[in-house]
Amino acid sequence: MGRGRQKAKQRKVARDLKYYTPETDYAALERELKASQRSEEEDEDYYEIPPAIDDWEIEPRSRSSR
């Protein structure tokens, strides 16, 4: 007993959350996206991996006879 009021309140809160549409600040979103694009372009040079250069070679081990 007593769950009817609690269940109705939960249903009301769920409905409010489902249909809630906040105001979107498109100008702020555009600034944020432009800033992230610039930082990705700057990071491209930083993350380039130079080609591997081996100054030494590994010689295969010769098996010793028993």
The full set of domain ranges for the chain reads 9-46
Structure tokens at 7: 């269940």
Q: How far apart are CA 37 and CA 31, in angstroms?
A: 10
Q: What is the DSSP string of 2-66?
A: -HHHHHHHHHHHHHHHHT--PPP-HHHHHHHHHHHHHHHHHHHHHTPPPPP--SS-PPPPPPPP-
Average pLDDT over every residue of 21-50: 78
pLDDT the model gives residue 58: 63
Closest CA to 25 of 17, 36, 33, 37: 33
Of 38 and 17, more confident:
17
- Amino acid identity of residue 42, one-letter, is E
Q: With a cut of 60, say whether residue 66 has pLDDT above it.
A: no
pTM over 0.85: no
